[in-house]
Chains A and B, each alone.
Chain A
Amino acid sequence: MNQAGKRYLLWFAQEHVEFRFQEINSLLTAFNITMDFIEKPTDLQPYWMVKFASEQDAKKITQRSVLLRSCIELWGHSNSVDGLHEMMKKFPEHLMEPHLDEDKSFKIEVETFCKHFTQQEKVDKIEVFEYLPYKGPVKLKDPDTCLQYIEYYGVDPNAPPESPYRVFFGRWIASGLRQLIKYLSLKTRKFIGNTSMDAQLSLLMANQAQIRNGDLVLDPFVGTGSLLVAAAQFGGYVLGSDIDYLMLHARTRPSRITQQVRDDDEGVKANMMQYNLEKHYLDVLVNDCSIPFWRDNLMFDAIITDPPYGIRESTEKIGTSKVNCKISEDHLKTHIPAKVEYSLSTVYFDLLNFSAKHLKMGGRLVCWFPIFRDDYSEDDLPRHPCMKLEANSEQVLTKHTSRRLLTYEKIAEYDNCEDVENTIKDFRYKYYETREESRQERRSRKAELRAKGRLEAERRKVTKLSE
């Protein structure tokens, strides 16, 4: 019971709850760290009570996590305030002493989760701790020891209970990367487009991909490079490709309402320079990913991407249905290649196949996959014999649609996988079908109303006449 130094409280931001397990799991395997639950967490609770082998481990995980707010070394917890103080009064002094010595400045912070208290009320809550065996001075800014007292009133801010469900006390160890989300915000990003991924989800993807210093990372649908910014932030060296020449040359219409024309220094590299990440930028190229130009034996450490879903953007690749077409020399300079539809299922099939071939063993592919919620089945997700689905979590977009963040790991050599069959379902047919349906329904309902109105008008006429 007195392994106090090994019990930790992980406190999450109340956002992207579905992604918590996946993120922490990815980090645990990336750093080869084990973590045990002291208590089984539930989805709604923003906290986990866990055990780590060392403080170092707890720190490593927390400092790399996007979803974690902070981690504290758990000294005590209880279902009641009195219970906690009872417990803390009996807490072995020798465990606290090193942190509350004469030469250690300290402070106590109060957090009340989901219930508001005045400053004075909060001060009163702190005063109760005067029994602690502290010897050092109180220091508010950057103290050596920061103690945290947390009262948890559930997750419904409209109906908090009289007294907290749970109270915790412990020593702050580390904070997560919540500040980085703001720092990399799209709001202040140099070059963005309609489908730029927000900073939080981009960082999350880079964590799912376990990006480390010196990794070679590819985004084959790079767009404005938002995923590569996150990858570079964690030390990745990044390459990207996109079929859209105007996008890579930043000549598409600006997506900011406040911006009339694009600056002439926009581009993926400009984004890297904004955050002093240019040393991690390799190159981007205009390339149709269905016709890759990468050398056969080239191995990437990770591939992170957001393929075109084709609802807002069109999904196309270069090709033609004409037989024996030949473009004459004269036309070549100005010719814009003809495109054929690139079905969603082929996009993903190609992506998995490409990853199986070009990822190092154990390397990860992290990508989004759109689904139609009503008939989602895990069996319909893209599959490949060389690629193991490691994680899969949902972000709901509308009542009927969502996208899933999929993390695959390469587990087998890509030898002769060419005859792998494509069995991926295309969710868009369903999407368009239902939209079509409702449009038709609406149309027929309106027609019905009009018919009714006409009928009634006729009837009135008839009654008038017969009067």
Chain B
Amino acid sequence: MRLGLTPAFLVKIVSSVVLIPARSVHKSELVKMKLLTHNMLTSKSMKGVTVGYPLGINVVDIKVTEVDFNPEFISRIIPKLDWSVLWKAADTIGQLDDLPKELSQEYENDNDFLKKVHHVLLEVDIVNGELVCPETGRKFPINNGIPNMLLNEDEV
């Protein structure tokens, strides 16, 4: 009895890799900064600044885009947040919806709540504007969604 193997049998079928070409993206997709990032920044490294937190936000325009929801990420990021600062920031830019002022205890299993957090953290973006040091009033411009936190040599 033969195995009935033809030479074709030996041509190893390397499943082909589908290469994704660099697609062009509308510029407005790129130019945004997230409230999550605002929650993590301080100006405490500046000369003469002690706390430098939270930074003020001057918004020129904001944009809301849909982003895939990952409950695991959101429940892991919540303990890393300063909740009241997030709440205030969302309030400042009019994106509070009905986000509760106090963080609920059992948020991990509260999908509705996680979705609300997901929305303010990842779907609301500051397109143009500035972050402001709360102690010195120094402004950090957000250009094309990228905050510029470079200090000048007389500020360090």
Contact = CB atoms under 8 A, between A and B. Distances in A.
B128 interface: no
Contact of B151 (A182, A245, A318): A318
B19 A182 contact: yes
Given A119-B10, A248-B146, A293 B152 contact: no
Contact of A337 (B6, B36, B73, B152): B152
Given A214-B72, A285-B147, A179 B22 contact: no
B9 A138 contact: yes
Nearest to B143: A249
Interface in B1-49: 1-10, 12-13, 15, 17-27, 29-30, 33-34, 36-37, 39-45
A162 to B, nearest CB: 22
A180 B67 CA distance: 24
A288 B22 contact: no
Interface residues of A, number: 72
B141 to A, nearest CB: 10
Contacts of B149: 241, 285-287, 293
B42 A294 contact: yes
A249 B144 contact: yes
B148 A245 contact: yes
Interface in A20-65: none
Contact of B2 (A127, A269, A279, A318): A127
Interface in A204-262: 213-216, 237, 239, 241, 243, 245, 248-249
Given A279-B67, A295-B82, A327 B27 contact: no
A293 B82 contact: no
Interface in B51-102: 53, 67-68, 70, 72-73, 76-77, 80, 82
A298 B80 contact: yes
A303 interface: no
A60 B122 CA distance: 30
A22 B68 CA distance: 33
A117 B29 CA distance: 53
Contacts of B6: 123
B150 A288 contact: yes
A319 B42 contact: no
A120 B82 CA distance: 68
Contact of B72 (A130, A213, A322): A213
A273 B29 contact: yes
B153 interface: yes
B58 to A, nearest CB: 16
Contact of B13 (A141, A182, A279, A286): A141
A55 to B, nearest CB: 21
Contacts of A273: 23, 25, 29
B146 to A, nearest CB: 5
B106 interface: no
A107 B9 contact: yes
B154 interface: yes
Given A122-B10, A130-B1, A140-B9, A320 B154 contact: yes
A179 B154 CA distance: 50
B154 A325 contact: yes
Interface in A39-96: none
Interface in A102-120: 107-110, 119-120
Nearest to A106: B3
A386 interface: no
A337 B34 contact: no
Given A127-B2, A274-B23, A291-B45, A239 B30 contact: no
A126 B3 contact: yes
Contacts of A140: 8-9, 13
Contacts of B29: 265, 269, 273
A203 to B, nearest CB: 14
Contacts of B34: 282-283
Contacts of B7: 119-120, 123
Contact of A138 (B5, B10, B12): B5
Contacts of B22: 188-190, 270, 274
Nearest to A190: B22
B112 to A, nearest CB: 19
Nearest to B150: A286
Given A269-B30, A283-B33, A335 B152 contact: yes
Given A140-B8, A265-B27, A291-B45, A183 B17 contact: yes
Contacts of B45: 291-293
Nearest to A278: B67
Interface in B118-156: 122, 143-154, 156
A286 B151 CA distance: 10
B5 A270 contact: no
B73 A295 contact: no
30 contacts: A120-B7, A123-B6, A123-B10, A127-B5, A130-B1, A130-B3, A140-B8, A140-B9, A188-B22, A216-B77, A237-B73, A243-B150, A245-B150, A265-B27, A269-B30, A269-B145, A273-B23, A273-B29, A275-B20, A276-B20, A283-B33, A283-B37, A285-B37, A285-B149, A286-B148, A291-B151, A291-B156, A295-B41, A327-B153, A337-B150
Given A273-B29, A286-B146, 19 more contacts: A120-B7, A126-B3, A126-B9, A188-B21, A213-B70, A248-B146, A249-B143, A265-B25, A270-B25, A276-B20, A282-B34, A285-B37, A286-B147, A291-B45, A293-B42, A294-B41, A295-B41, A318-B152, A327-B154
Q: Which 5 A-B pairs have the closest CB atoms?
A: A190-B22, A320-B153, A214-B73, A283-B37, A279-B68
Interface of B: 1-10, 12-13, 15, 17-27, 29-30, 33-34, 36-37, 39-45, 53, 67-68, 70, 72-73, 76-77, 80, 82, 122, 143-154, 156
